[in-house]
Structure 1
Amino acid sequence: MENLNSGAFAPTCTRETWVKRQALMARVRDFFVRRNALEVETPVLSAYGGTDPQLDYFEIEDPKRFMMTSPEFHMKRLLAAKFGDIFQITKSFRKDEFGGHHNNEFSMVEWYRVGMIQDKLMDEVEDLVSEIIGTKLNARRTRWIDAFKNYAGVNPFCEKLTDFADACRAREIPVPEKSETLTREDWWDYLMVFLVEPALASNGPEFILDYPPSQAALAQTYVDNEGYTWARRFELFVNQVELCNGYTELTDPVEQRRRFYADLEIRKGMNKPLPPIDERFLAALESGMPACSGVALGLDRLFMLALGKEEIADVILFPSPIA
């Protein structure tokens, strides 16, 4: 039997904070109602899981089901069914995510705007966040490649991978062990965490946009004047906290299927489980999902910022370690 102290039952969030959180949640819902978005509710348990190599999911056996890492696929099926502009406040689940800004089970608001270009959706994200935290953001907008050049001091497409290690040394952060085995994408992830994101904290709110296609499997792509291909993806960072992830959504079913299989090959190389491809989602694309932009925003993180808390455990009643 587990030996617990007398206070082990208690939540990590106080009643006073929870009351404030609920008031903020009501304001989030009202924000979308005022803007004529329809609230929907989709399953958190599904026969299909996403293929993203960077996300680990919970499985349930007999019959096999997946706890959803995002309501994205179901919501896009609703878009294809002509539901129009929609939003959802829901729980999502991701395995092996703990920390000051992470929890296995978390709250998000995800929404889609039919016919809206990405820049306008970023405006709406900024409006929502500004309304909830009580301060106008005025977030800068910086391309991903420029963020690496400005904040990490290296071109992410440099000819020699050793340039990444040199960038670490120049800014006095540790070079990873066995750095010679790291791929270019490994380096991107490492420098984003240790150089780019910390720099964002000192420069105020900032959108990072236009990511490499390999980091946005559900987004449309375009080719710039220099011949580089970019995914129409954006993230918003406030006080070094990543708040959201948004796309100009891919609507081509053939390209989407190709990307799913590419993801599965990467997962196979990482010795990760291989989920079945969501054929119902692909059928929705084949039926003609409308052009749209969509974004998912972490509510626990947003409320943490709005209420001046250091960790999301301060705005969640029972985070994963004590649930």
Structure 2
Amino acid sequence: MKTFEPSCDLATWKARYALTEKIRDFFKARNVQEVETPVLSRASGTDVHLDYFATLGKPTRYLMTSPEFHLKRLLAAGFGDIFEIAHAFRLDEVGCKHNSEFQLVEWYRVGMHYEDLMTEVEDLASTILGKKIQAERLTFRDAFLRYAKVDPFQATADDYRKALKENDVPDVEGSETFSTEDWWDYLMVTVVEGHLGKDAPQFLMDYPESCAALAQTYVNANGDTVAKRFELYIENMELCNGYEELTDPAEQRRRFEADIAWRKANHRPVPAIDEKFLAALEHGMPAASGVAVGLDRLYMLALGKKNIEDVILFMDDNA
């Protein structure tokens, strides 16, 4: 018989609520304005790694995978530094670290460099976890060199297969047609990610250009074009995704169209491009860095829980 009861007990919920109030106090002390944006929109992000929920009615509307586009529209409208504690929705497996509906805090700092925003993420994590968080800053290249013994900017398919063999990871059917990005994804999941944040907090940063999403890029000392993007890992848990934000509307449209082309070629759902977001970039969005932190996972760490169901009231399969 299916139970009606929540998975999170009252004491844990009260503790979670107190942590959420700490987050609001954190931003209030920094004069960052809280805002609220829609959960439903007539457009969605095109990221090839994210699948979304769409309504059946006409016109189609989408449950937001992140409040990012609405928040950037507010930046372009002159709102300045802002944050939102929001629910986001992604088609995903339900598991110990995943739920299709989850809570995040997303914020944007006008004029801030992404490495300075990384420091602010450390400050927020320190506030919620009750201990000083100072994470190693590890580039995408250095992570692959350290944990997989391959240079992702120079490796061949044979190099990746050797790395799999040395880590007792099976080759995957169809790998003979893998793109470089496919190899990165497979090695990240099977070899690299298991090490990240395991012994101490780590930022993974400076992703390859093709992984930039909505981030600015630059040419590093090795001559490679990399993204001003970062993720924080603590206790092998990915907690955030942040960028120094792209403000070029033409480049952003090009990236959206490339995502759409990939989705069509791979028979994946194709969302409507957010023209109002692009209009905001055309109007002029100020230089800014932004980040989204998954609160359910952060609260798991703060409250010593091993499963996401222990910190939310109703999981997707019991909602």
Q: Which bin holds the TM-score, normalised by the shorter protein? A: over 0.9
Q: Deviations over 1:127-160 (max 9, x none)?
A: 0001101111111001111100101111113342
Shift of 1:201: 3.9
Match of 2:89 in 1: 93
> What pairs with 1:1-323 in structure 2 (closer than 5 Å)?
4-5=1-2, 8-63=3-58, 64-323=60-319
> Distance between the aligned counterparts of 1:226 and 1:205, measured in 2?
26
Q: Is the 2:198–2:234 contact (alpha carbons within 8 Å) kept by the matching residues of 1?
A: no
Q: Deviations over 1:37-59 (max 9, x none)?
A: 00000001000011111100000
Q: Deviations over 1:178-207 (max 9, x none)?
A: 322322211211111221121124331000
- Provide the aligned length of Structure 1 versus Structure 2: 318
Q: Is the 2:16–2:299 contact (alpha carbons within 8 Å) kept by the matching residues of 1?
A: yes
Q: Deviations over 1:232-288 (max 9, x none)?
A: 000000011000000000000111111110111111122111111111101100111
Aligned Cα root-mean-square deviation (Å)? 1.1
> Distance between the aligned counterparts of 2:176 and 2:309, measured in 1?
37
> Distance between the aligned counterparts of 1:312 and 1:39, measured in 2?
26
> Distance between the aligned counterparts of 1:159 and 1:30, measured in 2?
46
Q: Deviations over 1:114-137 (max 9, x none)?
A: 001111100000000011011111
TM-score by length of 1: 0.96
> Distance between the aligned counterparts of 1:157 and 1:250, measured in 2?
23
Q: Is the 2:92–2:98 contact (alpha carbons within 8 Å) kept by the matching residues of 1?
A: no
Residues 196-205 or 69-78, more deviating: 196-205
User: 3-state SS of the aligned residue for 1:265?
Assistant: helix
Residues 170-179 or 110-119, more deviating: 170-179
Structure 1 residues 238, 159: closer, same or farther in 2, change over 3 A?
Answer: closer
> Distance between the aligned counterparts of 1:241 and 1:269, measured in 2?
32
Amino acid at match of 2:18: A
Structure 1: runs of 5+ lacking an equivalent? none
Q: Deviations over 1:53-108 (max 9, x none)?
A: 11000000222100000000000000000000000000000013321111100000
> Distance between the aligned counterparts of 2:233 and 2:193, measured in 1?
8
User: 3-state SS of the aligned residue for 1:113?
Assistant: strand
Amino acid at match of 2:244: T
Structure 2: runs of 5+ lacking an equivalent? none
> Distance between the aligned counterparts of 2:262 and 2:98, measured in 1?
24
> Distance between the aligned counterparts of 2:95 and 2:182, measured in 1?
21
> Distance between the aligned counterparts of 2:94 and 2:157, measured in 1?
30
> Distance between the aligned counterparts of 2:192 and 2:260, measured in 1?
28
Amino acid at match of 1:25: T
User: 3-state SS of the aligned residue for 1:290?
Assistant: coil
Amino acid at match of 1:60: T
Q: Is the 2:207–2:228 contact (alpha carbons within 8 Å) kept by the matching residues of 1?
A: yes
> Distance between the aligned counterparts of 1:202 and 1:113, measured in 2?
29
User: 3-state SS of the aligned residue for 1:296?
Assistant: strand
Residues 104-113 or 135-144, more deviating: 135-144
